[in-house]
């Protein structure tokens, strides 16, 4: 858990210092997802990440390229690939999930 707090601390400092910095969590077509930083073993959002997202709600994006890059026959796996990223959105308060799920991207 100590390493995760270091990751959050670093990101907090960078977000405070760089006004144009955005952070994203992206589920890729190969199934890679950086949610290992955001979620614990039970796929619960780590409290320190929720606090960071709440502190900078306009600077986070959730997304995926799974639908664009998967071959047609692999699109059935999209739900499986998206599960970690979607679990982050599902654990956020509704307004915050809306912001990081699409309003921030729409604004950009």
Q: State mean pLDDT over 45-63.
A: 91
Confidence of residue 77 (pLDDT cuts 50, 70, 90): low
| Residue 6: per-residue pLDDT | 62
More confident residue, 33 or 57: 57
In whole angstroms, what is the distance from residue 8 CA to residue 78 CA?
28
Q: Could you give the count of Cα atoms lying within 13 Å of 106 in the half-sphere of its Cβ? A: 6
| CA 47 to chain CA centroid, nearest Å | 14
Q: What is the pTM of this model?
A: 0.75
- Nearest of 89, 41, 38 to residue 64 by alpha carbon: 89
């Amino acid at each position: 858990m100590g390493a995760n707090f270091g990751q959050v601390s670093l990101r907090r400092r960078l977000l405070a210092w760089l006004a144009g910095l955005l952070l994203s969590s992206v589920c890729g077509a190969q199934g890679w997802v950086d949610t290992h930083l955001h979620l614990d073993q039970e796929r619960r959002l780590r409290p320190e990440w929720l606090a960071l997202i709440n502190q900078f709600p306009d600077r986070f994006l959730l997304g995926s390229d799974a639908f664009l890059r998967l071959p047609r026959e692999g699109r059935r796996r999209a739900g499986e690939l998206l599960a970690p990223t979607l679990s982050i959105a599902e654990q956020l308060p509704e307004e915050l999930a809306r912001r990081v799920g699409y309003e921030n991207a729409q604004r950009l």
